[in-house]
Chain A
Amino acid sequence: MCIYEDQIGKFDWRQTYVGRIKFSQFDTVSTARKLIVATEENVLAALHLKTGEVVWRHVFESASTGNIQLLHVSDKVVTVTGSNPYLVRGWDSTTGILLWEWSLTLQDDDRADFSEWWVHQGLLVHMLPVFNSHIEVTMYNLLTGQNRGSTSKLPAAWVNDGCVLSPPYYSCVSGNMGAQRLLSIDVTSSKVQLISQPLFDYLSLDVFEGTLKPLDGNSVLPAFIIDDKKIVIVKDNNFEALNIAEMSASVTIVEGLNGPMVLQAWTDDNQGFKLSAHSVSTGKEVSEIKCSDPALRIPEPELGAVLCTKTGNDHACRIVVNGADDAIHLMQQGGRVMWSREESLANVVAVEFVDLPVSETDAAIESEFDQKEGSIWAGSVRRLHSQYQQLQTLLASLQSDRDVVHSSTEDLVRDYFNLHKIIVLVTEVGKIIGIDNLSGEILWHHFEGALDTEAVAIFTRRTARHPPYDAYLSIVGKHQESGNGLIISLNPITGELVGERVLQVDGRVLQCALLHQPDEEKLHGLVLLYDDESVQVFPVSSEHLVDDMYLYVAEAESAKVQGYALKYNGRTAIAQKIWSLDLGSGGHRIAVSASRAAQRTHSPGRALSDRSVLYKYNNPNLVLFITEGPDPVHKDVVRAVAVDGASGAVVSGAVHRRARATPLAVHADNCIAYVYLSDKYRRVEIATMELYEGKERWGTPGAPFSSFSSARAPAAARQAYIVPAAARAPRAAALTVTERSLTDRHLLLALSNGAIMEIPWAFLDPRRAPAGGGQMGVGEEGVLPYLPELPLPAEAVLNYNRSLHRVRSLHTHPAGIESTSLVLATGLDMYYTRVAPSKTFDLLKEDFDYHLISIVLVALVVATYSTKYFASRKMLKMAWK
């Protein structure tokens, strides 16, 4: 089950991410220069300045208790995390080790969300504005949390919710329309100094709203932006206004060689990424920093930390630019990108494995058989030509080094065992990324800012198996603004938009699915069911293929499930509601649903010890719903209901009292497993279920299962096991999938300690019973006696010591070789590996000794002929005697 130590990194890779950058600062004190970042994902990390690799990383709680409120880097790194109570921690910037921590609880919990934090002269300043009244300012000793004096209250009746902080000044626009004043107060000074000026003095504008916006990054001067038009700097108790280059520009003020500079970055639709720098005092442009790169496309760039040093007479700057697509770039002056990190991959919401097309030579051989016309000579010429090509590739492969992993686009062809694939990932910000599964390298990406990825679905509508047609992939999501459906269709191999491209439909999508029948171009139609129960099919030409199709729609909160039958009535496809089911009685909500994975069933039954066969209940339409809700007697109750997705019949179910559901459920073949938390025993349990028709088949052998032909309920074997892990430890679950389902099935379970456990289904078998109980399954071949606790040995950890933080989901996909299943874990980190649940029975061992077997063969041949020679000599001698 586990690998050898020398196989580390051979089949697997891990990529670590930090998430979208919230705060960034350069660590200039320690010898190895680093970029310290704090992210929206509640991660504090140090990135290597040259490569962008993670030097050290701390992952805080994913809930609001881990929210990072402040990052301050001096000789130590200081963070403020949480949301009342707050935790102030100090970290060593070189090693990342925790130095001190103290907790701070604000008494006024309601207004705590408006808190502002910063560090001023070695003191942690906490500011709490009370609107239309005053500002409360408290300063703490950074190391101990001891309060310097007391909370000072600055009277400020002009404070409103549109105020901005540009430390140490707190600025507002206040006053009646037409007589608005710009007010600013230094909150850290001992004597109250209010700067108040009419807004008109600084804005010679006809129309203004008076909205204030703080600068991005770590501005060295207190400044803010009014109405996206003017930068106002607070200087010597006065305001100073500067013009802004572009409405959408991100602005920060940095320390340059000749005093502070205003740095602005924006993306022009035609001219690409633009960067400009002006001196604050003189207003002159700093030419060496300026950049205009039409090739560089950073959507809505936001400036982060900027560090400028002197090299000769020029500036040498390091500029952190954060895009709306969550990618972080480190740039030099002049716009050269030193490294980029694709941080959107910390939030993957949908995954699809895509087969690669066969190589050109293979395709040529296949097309050779397709061409029926032509004379015998033309045929033989084609034959010779393709054989010549094969010979060439063989020679080429002999010449090139075998171990080198090629991943240029020409090498994106299917390998012999179909292990090489492209993984298409949809991330939460709407970035669609294609990566090579062997190397983990990003091959293409497409950013769609309008895509709302809540409940996004991804479909392979045509595989690459049908030359000359290219592979075709569709992503169905919601439009960010209208909430209507949004379809993005692309070629998963190249990332180019095809077919519908980016299409916004006129309606909210209730459910979407693929047609079972492909059209003449081998393309599966995409069926959308709208909330007004109308149906649309893409492309329209395959509308007539809608036949015998059933969809179900489940509402998570109300736990109502509705079934629809789709038909083609000669003109158009229509949907008809045929059943509805209320699983939400007693206030239940659906925690998770798991429909049966679309895969083969290898054997229709299971042989028992008495030579009879227990036939599996083989319903491909089965859907499992796990609901949780309150109960008057048992506090919380978890219900598992298996529903036929076509007919709406409840097939089987189970109830767990004093338990809470987790969103972990898997379902394949006739096997069901789901994880729940037992409140009674304060532990995690996994319940398994297998459905059987009984010892006699319901239908005729070989006939496909029909949901409508029988109303019989299958027999269910049920069992529950203890997962020896802390509550909330299981994070994701999946079952391994293989090409023909011949191989054993293993359950993969990601735990919060960073391990992915591989548990054979034999341990989870619901037919396991205590020895001597005389129950079903005892003493049968392959059925172990019941033990309540699942074994989780270290050998079962797939990712050995490459711990994964916050695994969100596990995805499995069959390889072309039966024994192997490909696994991708997504979350804050991404991990890919392959598993062979029944060992690689169809492959020679990789340490197979080719040399030994050839030496033995040669030696045997030599030995036979030499002994024969000697024998004949001996015979001759004997004859002479």
Chain B
Amino acid sequence: MKPISFTSILVIVCVFANVSNAINSVEEDIGSGRYVIEGRVVPPEEQEQSNWQIQTRIHVNGGEYIGFIKEDGSFAIHNVPTGSYVVEVVNPDYMYDPVRVEINSKGKYRARRVNYIQTSQVIQVPYPLRMKALSRFRYFQIREQWRMTDFLFNPMVIMMILPLLLIMVLPKMMNDPETKEDLKQITNLAKMSEMPEMSEVFTNLFGGGTTTKASKAKQIKKRQ
């Protein structure tokens, strides 16, 4: 009979522990050196996101312990032993600052900012935690908008418009006769190296095609 009665005492102890937990809303030691990290996530400002609670999780030490948040944004991570933990709010769209929570062997909590470079620096934050969204993640590049100036300074457009200006506008601006004479000379010169007439091009292509080809072939031979 003895061992049985012993176990019954144990069971009663266990029952009492559980009852007291329920009453004290679980903040202190549960008995085996396990603690609860508590806090609240403030929902992001823009509330167009329906059920953001589902999207948001609490990671302790990168997923060693995972917490889920309730409708009102509160969360509790149960059964955490003493130690130092990085508590992160994971949401795919909003950025939250992580917090380092330290639980000492007496069950005292300390929450401070995470600083990976100066690890001994302590900037305390209130506990129970209150996590606020910093900003929305910007994952994407922004496409350039169509603007008139962009179009005008486009090299191809400049290539079209500038010669037009040179040809049409410039001669009219210069009414001075001397320059006109000069221009005439230039145009006369240009006539020599003028672009071929369409008809000439075609006659060359079809009529004299063979000769040009032959001459080309000769040239190639020479090069070789």
Say whether B153 faces chain A, with CB atoms less than 8 Å apart.
no
A130 contacts across to B, CB distance below 8 A: 7
Knowing A87-B78, A801-B93 touch, does A853 contact B8 (C-beta < 8 A)? no
Say whether A742 faces chain B, with CB atoms less than 8 Å apart.
no
Task: Name the CB-closest residue of A to B139.
Answer: A800
Contact assessment for A103 and B78 in the assembled complex, using a CB-CB cutoff below 8 Å: yes
Say whether A65 faces chain B, with CB atoms less than 8 Å apart.
yes
**Min CB distance, A104 to chain B, in Å?**
7
Say whether B160 faces chain A, with CB atoms less than 8 Å apart.
yes
Contact assessment for B14 and A864 in the assembled complex, using a CB-CB cutoff below 8 Å: no
Determine, out of A166-174, A610-618, A722-730, the stretch whose residues face the partner at the interface. Answer: A722-730
Knowing A2-B140, A722-B116 touch, does A864 contact B79 (C-beta < 8 A)? no
Say whether A569 faces chain B, with CB atoms less than 8 Å apart.
no
Contact assessment for B70 and A87 in the assembled complex, using a CB-CB cutoff below 8 Å: no
Q: Which of B97-138 contact A (CB under 8 A)?
A: 98, 116-117, 119, 137-138
Contact assessment for B65 and A105 in the assembled complex, using a CB-CB cutoff below 8 Å: no
Say whether A147 faces chain B, with CB atoms less than 8 Å apart.
yes
Say whether A699 faces chain B, with CB atoms less than 8 Å apart.
no
Contact assessment for B117 and A722 in the assembled complex, using a CB-CB cutoff below 8 Å: yes
Say whether B40 faces chain A, with CB atoms less than 8 Å apart.
no
**Min CB distance, A99 to chain B, in Å?**
7
Contact assessment for A97 and B140 in the assembled complex, using a CB-CB cutoff below 8 Å: no
In this complex, the interface size class of chain A, counting residues with CB under 8 Å from chain B, is 35 or more
Alpha-carbon distance A69/B105, docked complex (angstroms)? 30
Knowing A134-B4, A860-B160 touch, does A4 contact B88 (C-beta < 8 A)? no
Contact assessment for A151 and B139 in the assembled complex, using a CB-CB cutoff below 8 Å: no
Q: Which of A1-31 contact B (CB under 8 A)?
A: 2-6
Contact assessment for A3 and B70 in the assembled complex, using a CB-CB cutoff below 8 Å: no
Contact assessment for A103 and B11 in the assembled complex, using a CB-CB cutoff below 8 Å: no
Contact assessment for A800 and B8 in the assembled complex, using a CB-CB cutoff below 8 Å: no
A95 contacts across to B, CB distance below 8 A: 51, 53-54
Residues of B within 8 A of A (CB-CB), count: 64
Q: Which of A43-92 contact B (CB under 8 A)?
A: 56, 58-63, 65-66, 82, 85, 87, 89
Say whether A292 faces chain B, with CB atoms less than 8 Å apart.
no
B12, B98, B117: which contacts A150 (Cβ < 8 A)?
Answer: B12
Interface centre among A66, A107, A147 (most CB of B within 10 A): A107
A501 contacts across to B, CB distance below 8 A: none
Contact assessment for A682 and B84 in the assembled complex, using a CB-CB cutoff below 8 Å: yes
Alpha-carbon distance A863/B78, docked complex (angstroms)? 78
Determine, out of A256-264, A388-396, A400-408, A788-796, the stretch whose residues face the partner at the interface. Answer: A788-796
Say whether A471 faces chain B, with CB atoms less than 8 Å apart.
no
Contact assessment for A147 and B71 in the assembled complex, using a CB-CB cutoff below 8 Å: no
Contact assessment for B63 and A728 in the assembled complex, using a CB-CB cutoff below 8 Å: yes
B22, B157, B198: which contacts A102 (Cβ < 8 A)?
Answer: B22
Binary A-proximity of B66-100 (CB < 8 A = 1, otherwise 0): 10111100001011000010101010110100100
Knowing A724-B116, A754-B92, A800-B140 touch, does A107 contact B13 (C-beta < 8 A)? yes
Contact assessment for A153 and B138 in the assembled complex, using a CB-CB cutoff below 8 Å: no
Say whether B156 faces chain A, with CB atoms less than 8 Å apart.
yes
B117 contacts across to A, CB distance below 8 A: 722, 788-789
Alpha-carbon distance A754/B59, docked complex (angstroms)? 11
Knowing A87-B78, A97-B51 touch, does A726 contact B66 (C-beta < 8 A)? no
**Min CB distance, A27 to chain B, in Å?**
16
Say whether A802 faces chain B, with CB atoms less than 8 Å apart.
yes
Knowing A85-B79, A107-B13, A146-B19 touch, does A856 contact B160 (C-beta < 8 A)? yes
B18, B34, B54: which contacts A145 (Cβ < 8 A)?
Answer: B18
Q: Which of B1-56 contact A (CB under 8 A)?
A: 4, 7-8, 10-15, 17-19, 21-22, 26, 30-32, 34, 36, 51, 53-54
Contact assessment for B88 and A726 in the assembled complex, using a CB-CB cutoff below 8 Å: yes
Say whether A480 faces chain B, with CB atoms less than 8 Å apart.
no
Say whether B61 faces chain A, with CB atoms less than 8 Å apart.
yes
Contact assessment for A61 and B63 in the assembled complex, using a CB-CB cutoff below 8 Å: yes
A residues with a Cβ closer than 8 A to B are 2-6, 56, 58-63, 65-66, 82, 85, 87, 89, 95-108, 130, 133-134, 136, 138, 140, 144-147, 150-151, 153, 681-683, 722, 724-730, 751-754, 788-789, 794-795, 797, 800-803, 806, 847, 852-853, 856, 859-860, 863-865, 867-868
Given contacts A58-B68, A99-B70, A789-B116, 13 further A-B contacts (CB under 8 A): A3-B140, A61-B66, A82-B79, A85-B30, A85-B78, A101-B68, A105-B31, A151-B15, A727-B64, A728-B61, A753-B62, A795-B139, A800-B139
A-B contact pairs, 12 of them (CB 8 A): A6-B143, A59-B66, A99-B70, A105-B79, A134-B4, A147-B15, A150-B15, A726-B61, A727-B62, A728-B61, A789-B117, A806-B63
